Amino acid sequence: MRFKDNVAIVTGAASGIGRISARDYAAEGASVVLVDVNADAVEAAAEAIRKAGGEACAIPTDIRSYEAVEQAAARTVERYGRIDILANIAGGNPHRVCKCPGGFEEMPLEAIDWGIEVNFSGPIYFCRAVLPTMIEQKSGVIINLGSVGGVVGGASAVVYGAAKSGMIGLTKSLALAGGPHGVRACCVSPGPVMTRDAMAEIKTPLGRAAEPEDVTKLILYLSSEDAKMISGSNHLIDGARACGGYT
């Protein structure tokens, strides 16, 4: 019960790493606010937590809108009185999500905008929305989900790699801004994760993609008091893919 009496906001909580993170925060005692643009799926995820005996609520939110993000943060404080953890998990490769399989030079501007807004602007918005509460509390943890693509780059994911690289810089700057107020920030950068079958085709020196739980265990560790002196750092969990030899 590492998160007893804590309140956690998890974005991208309707599926994948976000949903598992929300489930596991709740299993260890946190009250969890699940945020996602998919209203039906995020409510179903929250209901599953409640049925398992946890405390959770869903707030459907388009993180591309600062007004919507600010309302989600305000509703969290209104309901639970505090915000101890923000896990910025929402994101995705715009080539896949926006169905534009060509190269960067062929991407429509709408897909570029989606990639930056969801993978970078939205997390910045949420950090801005929760930081005043954390500063007032003199405590808080922000976990930003990066990617190995933000460390090594990728010709097939220019916008995604740029946004995820920005998450590393955001984390460093938040650690400096929040440190005097007891607020930590960490970035978790996975390689391929088996949230989709196609990820199994992406190679790593360890010979496999990560299971989602491999990543969520690291997210929860960095959120906990066990990591109370870890802040401002990027944590690769990529099976050594960033060490080279893969493109």
CB 220 within 8 A of CB 5: no
Q: What pLDDT, in 10s, does the model give residues 104-145?
A: 999 999 999 999 999 999 999 999 999 999 999 999 999 999
Active-site amino acid positions = 160
SS (H, E, C) 202-241: CCCCCCCCECHHHHHHHHHHHHCHHHCCCCCCEEEECCCH
pTM for this one? 0.95
SS (H, E, C) 174-200: HHHHHHHHCEEEEEEEECCECCCHHHH
Q: Distance (Å, rounded) from C-alpha 12 to C-alpha 55?
A: 18
H/E run at residue 97: helix 94-97
Q: Which residues of the chain have pLDDT under 50?
A: none
- Pick the closest to residue 37 from 15, 63, 17, 18 (CA basis): 63
User: What pLDDT score does 246 carry?
Assistant: 64
User: What pLDDT score does 197 carry?
Assistant: 79
The correct answer on CATH 3.40.50.720 for the domain covering 7-243 is: yes
User: What pLDDT score does 245 carry?
Assistant: 67
